[in-house]
Copies of this chain bind each other. A is one copy, B any other.
Amino acid sequence: MMRTHTCGELRSSDIGKDVTIAGWIRFSRDHGGVLFFDVADTYGITQAVYDPESITADGYAELGDILKTFSRESVIKVVGTVRNRVPGTEDCRNNTGEVEVLIKTAELLNSSKPLPFEVAEQKGSMLPSEDLRLKYRYLDLRRHVMAENLRFRHSVVTSLRTALNSRGFTEIETPMLVRSTPEGARDFIVPSRTSPGDFYALPQSPQMYKQMLMVGGMDRYFQLARCFRDEDSRSDRQPEFTQIDMEMSFVDMSDIQETIEFMLSEMWKNVYGEELKTPFPRVSFYDAMHKYGTDAPDIRYGLELHDVTEIVRNANYEIFKRILSKNGKVECVNVKAEYTKGGSEEGGVGRNEVDRLIEWAKSQGMGGLTWMRMTPEGLQSNIVKYFSDDVKDALVAEMDAKDGDLLLYLAGSEIAALKAGGELRRKLAADLGLLEGKPHQFVWLVDCPLFQKDSATGQIEAFHHMFVCPENMDLSGEITDIRGLSYDLVLDGSEIGSGSMRCHDPEVQHRILEMIGMSEEKIQDEFGFFIEALSFGAPPHGGIALGVDRLISLLLGCESIRDVIAFPKNKKFQSLVDGAPASVEEEKLSELQLLSLAGEDFDDSDFEE
């Protein structure tokens, strides 16, 4: 028997029991010949004591000599008796803190080399660099918070599965070795040995497979699906990630939204023991962009953007005039006085803070940022002289400005002003601590366009992806006015999922591919099999996929999704724990009839026959 109890189990009700525990020596100290060991496993920490004052049996002295040689993080098995700790030495932060195990015998199960960093969590201890944590990920996982992250993830995923099971969904595994199809991002490809010169791709999502499952009548599908995107590494992306992917037939948008709300609220009950308020608020794409300056709005605080372009059009302020003459816009945010209580003497966002905001706005590519403060005498600032009383009154009315409020103005092209406004909201909310204690908030983003124009090339592309069903199956009219039946799920200002009704009509699907500029040859080559599938009686269907890594990291408040993934890649897409990617033997490449050109000066002699 390796253990009778884990290191998190013993309580004062166990006093007097003979027990066996096993774990890592997280900490040890010699207190005048009495040896104390913190024996840790993932469930907790139990104090084991070698106490020659309590035990005088033959060989006990020798045991003490041996125990002293055990290094930290070595694995030990202890047989002993549970007893009370000496009064005054209890550790009330620890569930096992009232008791200790008096060591009778102990055995070293494995020793540990000195660690590259500290595993025990101690007050004020700094985390090692992330590269070191990733290289020795298994040691990082011994830290309680990391293990808890993975267990939290498991309990969330389990709850999501249980909820979908209760609604009659079938989890179905779709293939990982698929056909390469452009779906927005770059594919990872896998050379085929049995068909040299051909390649599989790793799926960016199971999109076409789940749609074919609907054509096949599977009705309600879900999957915890691993997906792969070889994107240029942005802030917090992984080349492989997990989504909870689902699809339903014979439904409309609201059925799918309700299902997701049900799934998440069931999870909420299980994980937090609380009700999640449903239905989630719906925000249209237009409102999201115009009120929140983003397609992933955080509605947990105010600071909404107001388009004051028409109000300030007649002001005599040169900067605005110049921007408005180029069809620009002026967006205004009201930093309410109550947001800034307890801040600087001027009410939280004082002159210095405003100056810093101006610098920040420049760093965002804006010309700057203009401000006015509401006082009992009306709006005040260094530029109010350029604004007539009428304009000022209209601004006060539009922004509902009260005494102490600070109005911030961003001016520029519409998209630049809105985007900067969105960033300004985020920054202010963080700086002013507006999110402290705020519960999580899900929002549906709806009424998105089906297409968008690439700003650089003018090329029409799918706003989400090419499988979204147009509203009323109607593709007529101005192309950028066509709406798609889509719904993104946003949590706390981050998009965590994207869903839509799908195009189940093969002709409409074909037309969409044409509209995004695909040649007939390309359509047939890459999507021919899929359009054919739709032609054999595809039911109306739709679905959604939620990013699990992102969802979990938002719920846990982690800085990075890497903290909720057991073995993540770093920003260069390297796995530091095993050294992947790595070189492979020439033989392997030649079996695949591939030649690597990387890192070599080209040498013709390699190709002599």
Spell out A's residues near B (CB within 8 Å). 2-3, 6, 22, 24, 40-43, 73-75, 109-113, 115, 136-142, 147, 150-151, 154, 157-158, 161, 165, 170-180, 186-202, 208-209, 212-213, 215-219, 226, 228, 230, 233, 239-240, 242, 249-252, 255, 504-505, 529-530, 533-540, 565-567, 569, 572-575, 577-584, 588, 592-600, 602, 604, 607, 609
Contact = CB atoms under 8 A, between A and B. Distances in A.
Given A194-B572, A582-B179, A110 B141 contact: no
Contact of A536 (B112, B179, B200): B112
Contact of A157 (B138, B171, B174, B217): B171
A200 B482 CA distance: 42
A179 B575 contact: yes
A172 B529 CA distance: 35
A119 to B, nearest CB: 9
B602 A607 contact: yes
Q: Which label, helix, strand, loop or mixed, suits the secondary structure of the A interface?
A: loop
Nearest to A530: B578
Given A151-B170, A582-B198, A240 B175 contact: yes
Contacts of A242: 173
A584 B180 contact: yes
Nearest to A194: B573
A485 to B, nearest CB: 14
A405 to B, nearest CB: 48
A252 B1 CA distance: 8
Copies of the polypeptide in the assembly: 2
A7 to B, nearest CB: 10
Which 6 A-B residue pairings sit nearest by Cβ, starting from the closest? A197-B598, A141-B216, A112-B537, A196-B598, A198-B581, A138-B216
Contacts of A216: 137-142, 147
Contacts of A178: 575, 578, 580
A201 to B, nearest CB: 7
A582 B141 contact: no
Nearest to A606: B607
A305 to B, nearest CB: 37
Given A173-B566, A217-B41, A179 B580 contact: yes
A47 to B, nearest CB: 18
A567 B174 contact: yes
A190 B192 contact: no
A82 B461 CA distance: 47
Nearest to A208: B578
B209 A567 contact: yes
A135 B138 CA distance: 44
Nearest to A585: B180
A602 B593 contact: no
Nearest to A505: B110
A500 to B, nearest CB: 16
Given A141-B213, A216-B142, A573-B194, A172 B588 contact: no
B176 A165 contact: no
Contacts of A573: 177, 192, 194-195
Contacts of A228: 176-177
A578 to B, nearest CB: 4
Nearest to A1: B252
B607 A75 contact: no
Contacts of A566: 172-175, 209, 213
8 contacts: A2-B250, A22-B250, A157-B171, A180-B582, A191-B191, A193-B230, A198-B581, A529-B577
Nearest to A77: B250
A110 B42 contact: no
Nearest to A114: B536
Contact of A199 (B147, B196, B583, B607): B583
A197 B43 contact: no
User: Which of A180, A578, A598 has the largest count of B CB atoms less than 10 A from its CB?
Assistant: A578
B596 A197 contact: yes
A176 B568 CA distance: 10
B595 A215 contact: no
Nearest to A197: B598
Nearest to A219: B42
Given A170-B154, A582-B199, A138 B219 contact: no
Most chain-B Cβ atoms within 10 A of its Cβ — which of A3, A109, A142, A582? A582
B598 A597 contact: no
